[in-house]
Amino acid sequence: DLQSNRTESEFLTDLSEINKIIKQLGYKGLEYKFYKIKDFDTSEKYRYYFDSTWPSDNIYEEVHNLPAYRDWRKKNEREISGTN
């Protein structure tokens, strides 16, 4: 589920931003995807999940260790925790 201090719109903006960064770095076809259960579902928890698929552990590590990814991650950790 989403963190209590994050809106769906904010989360989608974050995913869009990191997907754009990953693509600009030359990793086309790799992206995070966001899923939401149907509105008629009455579940109060686990209404969302996000997913990604990587061709290998090495590519996953490579992307997540790139300076642009780490900078994005740092920025979002500050926004989520509220410590700008």
User: Tens of pLDDT along the chain (84 residues)?
Assistant: 556 667 778 888 888 999 999 999 999 889 999 888 777 777 776 677 778 989 999 999 999 999 999 999 998 876 554 444
Q: The pTM is what? A: 0.75
- Nearest to 72, CA basis, from 17, 29, 23: 17
Query: Across-strand partners of 36?
Result: 48
Alpha helices in the chain (DSSP H): 8-24, 57-64, 67-81
